[in-house]
Amino acid sequence: MKLEVILEKDEDGFYVASCPAIKGCHSQGQTKREALENIREAISGCLEVLNEQAKRLGRRHHAELIRIAV
């Protein structure tokens, strides 16, 4: 599985990265490379939180971190 990431440059010159598959998963960086590194960390953190929430609720759903190539 691969996750899509949207990368845009904002009005201040920063790159903003978003993962549409994970609600609220966004990050930024001064360069494209930094923004992509940061969104990978954000995706990892979001998936950890989703897993913990699922465990507390007794769900069998399991999310996993997948490396993306951009």
Assigned domain for 69 exists: no
Residue written as tokens 């971190």? 65
pLDDT grade, residue 52 (50/70/90)?
confident
CATH code, 36: 3.30.160
| 11-49 residue pLDDT tens | 999 999 999 999 999 999 999 999 999 999 999 999 989
Query: In the prediction, which pLDDT does 37 show?
Result: 96
Assigned domain for 70 exists: no
Query: In the prediction, which pLDDT does 25 show?
Result: 97
Assigned domain for 67 exists: no
What one-character-per-residue DSSP string does the chain give? -----EEEE-TTS-EEEE-TTSTT-EEEESSHHHHHHHHHHHHHHHHHHHHHHHHHHT------------
Query: In the prediction, which pLDDT does 55 show?
Result: 77
Q: Greater confidence, 61 or 55?
A: 55
Question: Could you give the number of structural domains in the chain?
Answer: 1
